[in-house]
Amino acid sequence: MLATLDISSAKDDEGEVINFIPEFTSGLTRHPTTFPCSISARSHFRPELLDVL
């Protein structure tokens, strides 16, 4: 999926990047908590590939 998507910082209504402080779960393994981001297809050919995944 990473080959077909652009993942970047989320932007607010004025187009400014939303800054945030990364937070992680606690425990034996740590995972990031939910964070704001923007996910979009890299090109018009790639959305078809997402249907296969």
Give me the pLDDT at residue 10, please. 94
- Domain total of the chain: 1
Burial class (CB in 10 A: 0-12, 13-18, 19+), 25: exposed
pLDDT digits (tens, 9 = 90+) for 25-52: 999 999 999 999 999 877 765 566 666 6
33: number of CA atoms within 13 Å, CB side? 8
Q: Which pLDDT value is given to residue 4? A: 76
Q: What does R_g of the chain's alpha carbons equal in angstroms?
A: 15
pLDDT for 40 equals 85
Q: Residue 28 belongs to what domain range? A: 5-49
